[in-house]
Chains A and B, each alone.
Chain A
């Protein structure tokens, strides 16, 4: 921008609390003498409605074209002040903030030093502000179809929710039929309905919906593009085809594997995994009635809610159906999910016994008897031996088989245990690090059925939020490549974690795809030719901030 810089500096002393160790009079006197300062004010609460109102009218009244706000955390307030700029007709990118509260007043007790630090912080912000340029925002049209990978309960529920939100969903399921693990369960406590009924109801609902397409025996082969416009290559019955989607929801569940090396025993007719027990009870294939059954949980380390519920359910069925004595040996029974505590109470009332260990139990065999030996931490570590004729062991939960390939294909990371990694476990639990790709269910975390259903709605709502208006507001040219400088070395394309750079063959230059760009600046950092400019974090701006250190000498 060639236009002359006119700075507006808004300082806030946070209800005069910062004045305890920052001398605002001195700040004002010194800052006013700096060149290009058109306006300077000290407010007591810039963030309050009155403060914002005053700031807005000053922005409108004065001929200001760069704004510096010296106040508190930009994490908390930058968006509010940026919105004010927009309201006043200024581009929101013309704002530069200095945090003189958290980063100065609150951590610098000495008044002289705090005042000097605040002064330098504001000068840094001013230096950056001088070099700021506007970034325009544009609406980019999006495809309103959503791809759901996986046709288990999570995938089906997601597709149903999407369809209710008027977004067309396509389920790609690699198996021959919908249902996933739901078809392998014997009971579903929290939901009070038998799994086969729930499954039948969901399959019926999914197939009846006009705007849900189901592709079984199908797989996602490749996925290119970005939020709003993904191109998926899908194979079904040996035939490959392309289809475009605006968002992708991954709902591929997890895999259970029996870790014989952890327990030191192999599976047999009387040592079974929880999944096998479910199947035996569901299909009534129990060869003999067990007199005494022992479950061991928590040795695999995950405190899996699915396994906790399954153990309680099957224990109750064993009590009811065969009158077996049932012991559940665990480290810590976690009941923090819908209906588990009630189920636990019922199990106790019906005579299921719970014992706790600190060290994993030892398993040994004595003819037809299996001995489970451990120190019971509820009775001051008394040595306990349970001799049972059926031992049920918890499996280890592993990420879906294809997680590795899918994560590298979609450019989304893997987290602990190689499950898919959420963007932020607490704040954005169903978002991947890539815009437009979401997770639902057990593919990214271990959750029980009631939570899977909640997640499915959450993922569908996120896709709706992204696509419902048919367009996404996108910053255009926030990061740009100078064609004259770019040598097409492809470094940026290799290093961009979001797949947001492509080759523009016509102009022989790398080109940033604005809608996919997450503005991390990695490309600008690695470009050997320094051909990439990050408008609001440019090299020049960073140097200008550093320059203030030089003035101190």
Chain B
């Protein structure tokens, strides 16, 4: 879908970097935390809707991990909203989510 956004020339913030995973079920809490360690201002986990997951429970697992990572961020005094998960149904929706989140997270500023 990220490639489809390019084909549709739907621009989003140039500060966004995409780290591809085969399924968002692959993402672990450590991956999310490492991103913050390296200076990311926010992390979006983006994947397929739960009911359409090829790997059946991948999106469900990812939701659990995002909740866990978010709780850890809050614990150390960062805004838990800096990590979020979305499962858009269409490319324009994906781009809207990325743009809105970059704006919101951008407003929170740097983490250090």
| Contact A549 to B10, CB < 8 A, known contacts A495-B61, A520-B58, A534-B26 | no
Whether a CB of chain B sits under 8 angstroms from the CB of A234 is no
Q: Give the docked Cα–Cα distance between A324 and B12 (Å).
A: 64
Find the A residue at minimum CB distance from B38: A550
B14 x A520 contact (CB < 8 A): no
A532-546, CB under 8 A of B: which get 1 and which 0? 001001010011011
The interface residues of chain B lying within 8 Å CB-to-CB of A110 are: 14
A520 x B6 contact (CB < 8 A): no
B2 x A103 contact (CB < 8 A): yes
Q: Give the docked Cα–Cα distance between A545 and B27 (Å).
A: 14
How many residues belonging to A are interface residues under a CB distance threshold of 8 Å? 50
B55 x A498 contact (CB < 8 A): yes
A525 x B25 contact (CB < 8 A): yes
Whether a CB of chain B sits under 8 angstroms from the CB of A433 is yes
| Contact A107 to B6, CB < 8 A, known contacts A520-B58, A543-B31 | yes
**How far apart are B15's CB and chain A's nearest CB, in angstroms?**
8
Among A116-124, A181-189, A350-358, A459-467, the one that faces the other chain is A116-124
Whether a CB of chain A sits under 8 angstroms from the CB of B85 is no
The interface residues of chain B lying within 8 Å CB-to-CB of A76 are: 3
A549 x B11 contact (CB < 8 A): no
The interface residues of chain A lying within 8 Å CB-to-CB of B53 are: 413
Whether a CB of chain B sits under 8 angstroms from the CB of A16 is no
The interface residues of chain B lying within 8 Å CB-to-CB of A542 are: 19, 21, 31, 34
**How far apart are A90's CB and chain B's nearest CB, in angstroms?**
21
The interface residues of chain B lying within 8 Å CB-to-CB of A520 are: 22-23, 25-26, 54-55, 58
The interface residues of chain B lying within 8 Å CB-to-CB of A194 are: none
Q: Give the docked Cα–Cα distance between A274 and B27 (Å).
A: 51
The interface residues of chain B lying within 8 Å CB-to-CB of A141 are: none
Whether a CB of chain B sits under 8 angstroms from the CB of A114 is yes
B26 x A548 contact (CB < 8 A): no
A106 x B26 contact (CB < 8 A): no
The interface residues of chain B lying within 8 Å CB-to-CB of A106 are: 6-7, 9
Main secondary structure of the interface of B (DSSP, over half): loop
B58 x A548 contact (CB < 8 A): no
**How far apart are B51's CB and chain A's nearest CB, in angstroms?**
7
Find the A residue at minimum CB distance from B64: A526
| Contact A549 to B25, CB < 8 A, known contacts A102-B2, A433-B56 | no
Whether a CB of chain A sits under 8 angstroms from the CB of B82 is no
A539 x B31 contact (CB < 8 A): yes
**How far apart are B3's CB and chain A's nearest CB, in angstroms?**
4
How many residues belonging to B are interface residues under a CB distance threshold of 8 Å? 40
B1-43, CB under 8 A of A: which get 1 and which 0? 0111111011110100111111101111011001101111000
A413-450, CB under 8 A of B: which get 1 and which 0? 10100000001100000000100000000000000000
**How far apart are A98's CB and chain B's nearest CB, in angstroms?**
10
Q: Give the docked Cα–Cα distance between A537 and B23 (Å).
A: 10
**How far apart are B50's CB and chain A's nearest CB, in angstroms?**
10
B61 x A526 contact (CB < 8 A): yes
Whether a CB of chain A sits under 8 angstroms from the CB of B89 is no
| Contact A120 to B25, CB < 8 A, known contacts A497-B57, A518-B55 | no
Of B10, B18, B55, the contact of A497 (CB 8 Å cutoff) = B55
Q: Give the docked Cα–Cα distance between A543 and B30 (Å).
A: 9
Whether a CB of chain B sits under 8 angstroms from the CB of A411 is yes
**How far apart are B85's CB and chain A's nearest CB, in angstroms?**
13
**How far apart are A133's CB and chain B's nearest CB, in angstroms?**
16
B21 x A552 contact (CB < 8 A): no
Of A113, A522, A534, A548, the contact of B14 (CB 8 Å cutoff) = A113
Q: Give the docked Cα–Cα distance between A521 and B18 (Å).
A: 18
Of B3, B11, B57, the contact of A108 (CB 8 Å cutoff) = B11
The interface residues of chain A lying within 8 Å CB-to-CB of B31 are: 539, 542-543, 546
The interface residues of chain A lying within 8 Å CB-to-CB of B30 are: 539
Q: List 28 A-B contacts (CB under 8 A).
A: A73-B3, A74-B20, A76-B3, A102-B7, A103-B2, A103-B3, A108-B14, A121-B17, A124-B19, A413-B56, A415-B51, A497-B55, A497-B58, A520-B26, A520-B58, A522-B25, A525-B26, A525-B62, A526-B61, A537-B21, A539-B30, A542-B31, A543-B31, A546-B35, A549-B17, A549-B38, A549-B39, A550-B37
Chain A residues with a Cβ under 8 A of chain B? 73-76, 99, 101-103, 105-110, 113-114, 117, 120-121, 124, 411, 413, 415, 423-424, 433, 495, 497-498, 518-522, 524-526, 534, 537, 539, 542-543, 545-550, 552-553
Chain B residues with a Cβ under 8 A of chain A? 2-7, 9-12, 14, 17-23, 25-28, 30-31, 34-35, 37-40, 51, 53-58, 61-62, 65
Q: Give me 7 other A-B pairs in contact (C-beta within 8 A), A433-B55, A525-B61 excluded.
A: A105-B6, A108-B11, A413-B56, A520-B58, A521-B25, A545-B19, A552-B39
